A and B are shown apart, each in its own frame.
Chain A
Amino acid sequence: MNGEVLVFLILASLAVIGGLLMLNLKKVVHMLLSLVLTFLSIAGLFIMLSAEFVAVVQVLIYSGAVTIMMIFGIMLTRHQDEQRVQKNRVRTWVVLIGILVFFYTMYEAITRFVSVEQASELHIENTKQIGMALYAKYVIPFELTSVLLLVALIGAIVLAKREEEEEVKQE
């Protein structure tokens, strides 16, 4: 068991613990924070997989932007801080059984999956490689993504904005 495996195990268990905490904590903000742990562990895993740029983006977007945005969402909505007790127990059990079946199926599939190849040059100038691929090969999806972001921006603003009559009333 070399160091790499050890690091992987630590990061993986941190990620899983974060997810399980998210499921079991009572307060919404605590749930979010536990997920930040998961996201950061995943960023570490990305580094292990020679994807430094993606790891940085992961930290920036997920741990940073998305989580903060969610916290804003929580702040802006008057939420019941504590999750009420689950009422729909039947659904929970049904979902749990479905997930277990799914998990078992996928587990069987993964154990049978064997791949021997490895990429050896991903870590050399990783960001440059990504830039090359993005602007040379995937330029059209890239531009489309920008359009998507613009649409999301405008849509979010329009949706979140108060309706004018309401504004007038408030004033």
Chain B
Amino acid sequence: MTSVPLNAYLMLALILFCIGLFGALTKRNTVIVLISIELMLNAVNINLVAFSKLGMHPSITGQVFTLFTITVAAAEAAVALAILMALFRNRSTVQIDEMDGMKH
């Protein structure tokens, strides 16, 4: 019915995942790092939804799983931001390379 092959969706998801990954590993602003992680999660969501439609055993489960992922991602974003606020209050910076507390 749909004429777009599964591989196209997977490629798109891969590209977005790589972009998110690159951002997460190189950007210095913590907020951007967090949102890059959201992008990676989203890329995974594309995969899940695509498989639910065009996978080996298509079913609704992929969509349900996507909902769970979105929920967890939202919760993660909230907690991450809260940690960021607390950290900012202590160190008054959001630059990720200035947060080296794990060294000690």
Asked whether A and B interact, the reply is: yes
Q: Which residues of B contact A (CB under 8 A)?
A: 1-4, 6-12, 14-16, 18-23, 25-29, 31-32, 34-36, 38-39, 42, 45-46, 49-50, 52-61, 63-64, 66-68, 70-79, 81-86, 88-89, 92, 94-95, 97
A11 to chain B, nearest CB (A): 9
Contacting A134 at CB < 8 Å: which of B2, B64, B86?
B64
B14 pairs with A106, CB closer than 8 A: yes
Decide if B85 touches A77 in the complex (CB within 8 Å).
yes
Number of interface residues of A (CB under 8 A): 87
A-B contact list, 28 entries, CB within 8 Å? A31-B35, A35-B35, A42-B16, A46-B49, A49-B49, A51-B52, A53-B63, A53-B67, A62-B70, A66-B38, A73-B34, A74-B31, A79-B29, A79-B94, A80-B29, A83-B28, A84-B95, A99-B21, A99-B22, A115-B6, A115-B56, A117-B54, A117-B57, A118-B53, A118-B54, A119-B52, A122-B53, A155-B79
Whether the Cβ atoms of B55 and A111 lie closer than 8 Å is no
**Residues in A whose Cβ lies below 8 Å from that of B8:** 8, 12
CB-nearest residue of chain B to A81 = B29
| Smallest beta-carbon distance B41→chain A, Å | 9
Tell me if A95 and B64 are in contact (CB < 8 A). no
- Cβ of B19 and Cβ of A39 under 8 Å apart? no
The number of residue pairs between A and B whose CB atoms lie closer than 8 Å in the complex comes to: 234
Q: Is the CB of A117 within 8 A of B56?
A: yes
Q: Do the beta carbons of A130 and B60 come within 8 Å of each other?
A: yes
Bound: A59/B83 CA distance, A: 25
| A54 contact set on B, CB distance < 8 A | 45, 49, 63, 66-67, 70
Chain A nearest CB from B29 CB (Å) reads 6
Q: Write the nearest CB–CB distance from A23 to chain B, whole angstroms.
A: 6
Q: Are A69 and B19 in contact (CB under 8 A)?
A: no
Whether B9 pairs with A49 at a CB distance below 8 angstroms is: yes
In the complex, chain A residues whose CB is within 8 Å of the CB of B31: 28, 32, 70, 73-74, 77, 79
Q: A86 contacts B35, CB within 8 Å? A: no
Inter-chain contact B2/A4, CB cutoff 8 Å: yes
